[in-house]
């Protein structure tokens, strides 16, 4: 997980969704309290390995989209979709041209139940292959039927797979394949793997998941509204709180990294990693809320792979442990204790950085600063201390209820 490649998710949400009926495109219909699109976006914005999320939407849906994406971190400005799905993805890829090299995940807005584990598998496949897709074995018998409704053939289902999203690609390889297909007048391909196949690439597969259904019909939407796993914070009844504390000493240097933000200073902080005392305290707070050890037990300072490491991966790992248990972070509160540098001018940048690392709305992250009135080691400007609290919510646990 050292220096992982950036992973950007494109959410294809430009369709009109007329098959699902109703006045609104299906991605803007509500299941439970949230729109389908907001649920889908949150699958990706909340995933620690996803760097940014690019939505591709229809020009007429700007207001609906703004409501669906309100307050979500990691969101890039939307790209405008085209006449076909293939056109819409190409518009998204063009909007990402400056991000190369990176891994891109393409996901349909109408699949709001992709699990964190599925997205992790996609990211893993993206690190190994230029193109990979989630697939499921076919359990029903499949037959070819003629126009008159007669069975023409029974297929051998052992080699058949149904295909889902997120599909994962090298950004440059997929961009080139899409541009070539468009130039050749090919516009009917229904998924991005087909574009890569057309361009002569080999496409790998990884395990999909049966819960990652595509909502197509009005019936699908109604069933999802009845059966959707609760995704709201308030559906997670087991509220837990953890605290963290950390100190690093000053040594000569020219900047400190606090809460993921580099701040010019006459000293730097000594430490095995980047010595980000704020993110270390937050990581311990999250691990504390989980009852799962501390930062030292997860990332031993004796392990050379963490030398000079950016501390955002420690916090992202801790958040990933919450997500893996079906939980969510409700709130983070960080207090930085030092005489200098002044934190105030950087407070909002730190809030935004922490929110982004954790996939949280900024409103759920608090950053405060104080001095110790020139008392003690922080008062003597020998280092910086940080304390943090994390409130998390977990699903009801049957054996503990």
CA-based end-to-end distance of the chain: 35
Residue closest to Mg ion (Cβ): 280
Rounded distance between C-alpha atoms, residue 306 and residue 80, angstroms:
41
Residue of the chain from 280, 347, 351, 364 that contacts Mg ion (CB under 5 A): 280
Q: If you ran DSSP here, which 8-state letter would residue 258 be given?
A: E
Largest separation between any pair of C-alpha atoms in the chain: 88
* Angstrom distances, CA of residue 111 to CA of 39, 62, 76, 114, 140: 9, 20, 20, 7, 22
**Residues with Cβ within 8 Å of residue 302, at least 6 apart in sequence:** none
Least distance to Mg ion, CB of residue 261, Å: 16
* Residue with smaller CB distance to Mg ion, 129 or 250: 250
Q: Which is nearer to Mg ion, 39 or 280 (CB)?
A: 280
- Give the nearest distance from C-beta 260 to Mg ion in angstroms: 14
Q: Which stretch binds Mg ion (CB under 5 A): 164-172, 191-199, 276-284, 348-356?
A: 276-284
Nearest to 176 by CA among 87, 90, 95: 90
Name which of 192 and 246 has its Cβ closer to Mg ion: 246
229-268 positions binding Mg ion, by CB under 5 A: 246
Shortest distance (Å) from residue 347 CB to Mg ion: 21
Cβ at position 316, least distance to Mg ion in Å: 16
DSSP string, 36-102: HHHHHHHHHHT-TT--EEEEEE-GGGHHHHHHHTTT-TTBPPPEEP-SSHHHHHHHHHHHTGGG-S-
The piece of 35-43, 59-67, 277-285, 393-401 that touches Mg ion (CB under 5 A) is 277-285
CA–CA gap between residue 353 and residue 147 (Å, rounded): 57
Quick check: 309 binds Mg ion (CB under 5 A)? no
CA dihedral for 1, 102, 352, 258, sign (positive or negative)? positive
> Least CB distance from residue 290 to Mg ion, whole Å?
18
- Of the two residues 280 and 347, which places its CB atom closer to Mg ion in the complex? 280
Least CB distance to Mg ion at residue 333 (A): 18
Instruction: Closer to Mg ion by CB, 108 or 246: give it.
Output: 246
Nearer to Mg ion, 206 or 299 (CB): 299
User: What residues line the site for Mg ion (CB under 5 A)?
Assistant: 246, 280
């Amino acid at each position: 997980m050292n220096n992982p490649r950036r992973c950007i998710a494109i959410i294809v949400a430009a369709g009109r969704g007329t098959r699902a009926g109703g006045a609104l495109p299906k991605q803007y219909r509500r299941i439970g309290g949230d729109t389908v699109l907001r649920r889908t976006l949150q699958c990706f914005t909340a995933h620690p390995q996803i760097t940014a999320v690019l939505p591709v939407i229809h020009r007429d849906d700007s207001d609906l989209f703004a409501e669906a994406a309100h307050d979500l971190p990691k969101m890039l400005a939307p790209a405008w979709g085209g006449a076909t799905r293939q056109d819409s993805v190409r518009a998204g890829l063009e909007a990402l041209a400056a991000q190369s090299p990176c891994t891109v995940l393409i996901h349909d807005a109408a699949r709001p139940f992709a699990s964190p584990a599925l997205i992790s598998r996609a990211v893993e496949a993206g690190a190994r292959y230029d193109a990979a897709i989630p697939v499921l074995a076919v359990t029903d018998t499949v037959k070819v039927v003629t126009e008159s409704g007669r069975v023409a053939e029974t297929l051998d289902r052992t080699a058949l797979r149904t295909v889902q999203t997120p599909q994962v690609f090298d950004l440059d390889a997929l961009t080139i394949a899409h541009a070539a297909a468009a130039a050749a007048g090919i516009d009917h391909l229904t998924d991005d793997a087909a574009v890569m196949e057309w361009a002569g690439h080999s496409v790998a597969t990884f395990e999909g998941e049966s819960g990652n259904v595509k909502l197509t019909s009005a019936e699908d939407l109604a069933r999802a509204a009845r059966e959707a796993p609760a995704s709201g914070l308030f559906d997670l009844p087991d509220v837990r709180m953890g605290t963290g504390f950390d100190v690093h000493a000053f040594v000569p240097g020219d900047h400190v990294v606090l809460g993921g933000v580099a701040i010019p200073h006459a000293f730097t902080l000594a430490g095995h990693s980047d010595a980000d005392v704020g993110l270390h305290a937050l990581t311990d707070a999250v691990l504390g809320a989980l009852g799962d050890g501390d930062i030292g037990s997860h990332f031993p300072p004796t392990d050379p792979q963490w030398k000079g490491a950016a501390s955002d991966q420690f916090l992202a790992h801790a958040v990933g442990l919450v997500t893996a248990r079906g939980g969510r972070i409700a709130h983070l509160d960080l207090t930085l204790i030092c005489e200098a540098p002044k934190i105030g001018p950087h407070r909002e940048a730190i809030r935004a950085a922490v929110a982004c690392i954790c996939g949280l709305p900024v409103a759920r992250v608090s950053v405060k600063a104080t001095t110790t009135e020139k008392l003690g080691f922080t008062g003597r400007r020998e280092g910086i201390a940080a304390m943090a609290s994390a409130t998390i919510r977990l699903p009801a646990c049957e054996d503990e209820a």
